[in-house]
Amino acid sequence: MNIAFRSDIGRIRLVNEDRAWAQHVNNGCAVAIVADGMGGHLAGEVASQLAVDTFRESLGGIELPTLSLEERRTLVRGAILQANEVVYDMASRNDQYHNMGTTVVAVLAGQDGGIIGHIGDSRVYIWSKGQLVQLTEDHTLVNELAKHGQISQEEAANHPRRNVLTRALGTDEQVEVDLIDFDWEHGDLLLLCSDGLSTMVADHDMSAILAGGDHDLDAKAERLVELALQAGGDDNITVVLLHHVGDTEQEG
């Protein structure tokens, strides 16, 4: 499995509140996470960094191939809930971090498939057999309105409150984690990203980059960030790519 990741502050924001981490664990398996922080002065970057650090520590030393599907689900859910506890505790004990939080989307990927843990509007897509499919569902106000037929998908994409989350990590003592199982095959790609990519770059443009056979994985990640910047770069942009191939050397 190959890995590449990139993060950019964008053209508008003064601070990059996105954080990401990805790493091989063993036997061609990998772990990855993207967190997009929110809050007052510096609080967003504190929340996202705490979430990534806690998740990484929780998964230290795992032997993924030996775990059952249910054990993998429990591991991902537990690591995210631990991150929620850490961020919430920090926010509760420090006035400057009051109500800080972060999105989180994390992947535990083996050769046969994996588990996604998800809170907020950062996303995971899979590119397989020439098609890009979004695997996660945004925890946003406009997505709820669209699901219930109150607004169209086009209206949702341009809604003035499209960034309002209905669920985030660290803002409440208890939080629900969405867990998603996925299967993938040799040649497939997983894309984890913050909304700085998904709100600025259309699915068909992302798909075209991932399909391109003339770029290595690093270059694909760079190109995705470039597209978001060219579209305006209104937010921080973070991209993690996992490529299901035989070579396990990291490219990013």
Domains along the chain with CATH numbers: 2-243 (3.60.40.10)
pLDDT in tens, 170-179: 999 999 999 9
Look at residue 59 and tell me whether its pLDDT is greater than 90: no
pLDDT digits (tens, 9 = 90+) for 78-110: 999 999 999 999 999 999 999 899 999 999 999
pLDDT of residue 250: 42
Mean pLDDT of 170-189: 96
Distance CA(124)–CA(135), nearest Å, equals 6
pLDDT tens digits, residue range 23-35? 988 777 899 999 9
Q: What is the pLDDT of residue 154?
A: 62
pLDDT for residue 251 is more than 60? no
Query: Tokens 């036997």 identify what position?
Result: 27
Average pLDDT estimate for 184-200: 96
- In one-letter notation, the amino acid at residue 89 is D
* Most confident region among 2-11, 54-63, 143-152, 212-221 by mean pLDDT: 2-11
